[in-house]
Amino acid sequence: MLSKNIEAALNQQIRIEAESSQVYLAMAVWAEVKGLEGIASFMYDQSDEERVHMLKLVKFVNERGGHAHISELNAPNVTFNSFKEMFEKLLEHEIYVSNSINELVHTSLQEKDYATHNFLQWYVAEQIEEEAMARTILDKVNMIGDDKGGLYLFDRDIQQLTVESAADVPDA
C-alpha cells in the first residue's frame, strides 16, 4: 500500500511524464512544419515513449492501492528560434525530469518504500539513456551550426544516430 506522501509524489511524476509527451509532441509538430521529417519522426517517437512512461506510473499507483491522478497540464513551448534551441530545450527538459526522478527515489527511501524504490530504478536507467542521447544530438547540432546541408543530412540520419547512442550507453 502506498503512503499518501508517496502517492502524491508519484502522481506529480505522472503529470511530468504527461507534460514531457506534450513537450515532444510540440517539437515534432514544429519540425514537421519546417519540413524536417526525420527530426519530426524522432520527436513523435519520443512523445509516444513519454506517454508509455506516464502509463507505467498510472498502473503502478493503481496496483498498489493508490489512485492515479490525471491532471491538467502546463502548455509546452510550441515555437523555437532554431533547431539548436529546440535540442537545447530537449536536454534541459531531460535534466529536469532526471532531477524529479532522483527526488522521488530519495522520498521512497526516506519512507522505506522498497517496492516503489525498486520500480523507480527503471526510470533512473531510462533517464541516463535519454540524457546521453540528448547530449549526443546536441553535440551534432553544434557541429552543424547554420549549415543547411549538414541539417539535411542530420535530418536523414537522426534515427540511426539515436539508436547507436542508446546502444553505447551500457558500456559508457
Applying CB under 6 A, the residues found at the interface with ligand OFO are 17, 20, 50, 53, 94, 97, 126, 130
Shortest Å, Cβ 130 to ligand OFO: 4
CA 107, 112, 116, 118 torsion: positive or negative? positive
Shortest Å, Cβ 132 to ligand OFO: 12
Shortest Å, Cβ 58 to ligand OFO: 13
Q: Please identify, using beta-carbon distances, which residue of 7 and 17 lies nearer to ligand OFO.
A: 17
Q: Please identify, using beta-carbon distances, which residue of 32 and 131 lies nearer to ligand OFO.
A: 131
Q: Please identify, using beta-carbon distances, which residue of 20 and 162 lies nearer to ligand OFO.
A: 20
Q: How far is CA 9 from CA 61, 64, 81, 117, in A?
A: 10, 14, 34, 12
Cα separation of 89 and 133, whole Å? 13
117, three cell numbers: 524504490
Number of helices followed by number of strands (H, E) in the chain:
5, 0
Shortest Å, Cβ 17 to ligand OFO: 5
Q: Please identify, using beta-carbon distances, which residue of 20 and 107 lies nearer to ligand OFO.
A: 20
CB burial string 47-84: b at 16+ within 10 A, e below: bebbbebbebbbebbeebebebeeeeeeebeeebeebb
Closest CA to 133 of 101, 103, 94, 96: 94
Q: Please identify, using beta-carbon distances, which residue of 40 and 57 lies nearer to ligand OFO.
A: 57
Shortest Å, Cβ 46 to ligand OFO: 8
Cα separation of 162 and 42, whole Å? 9
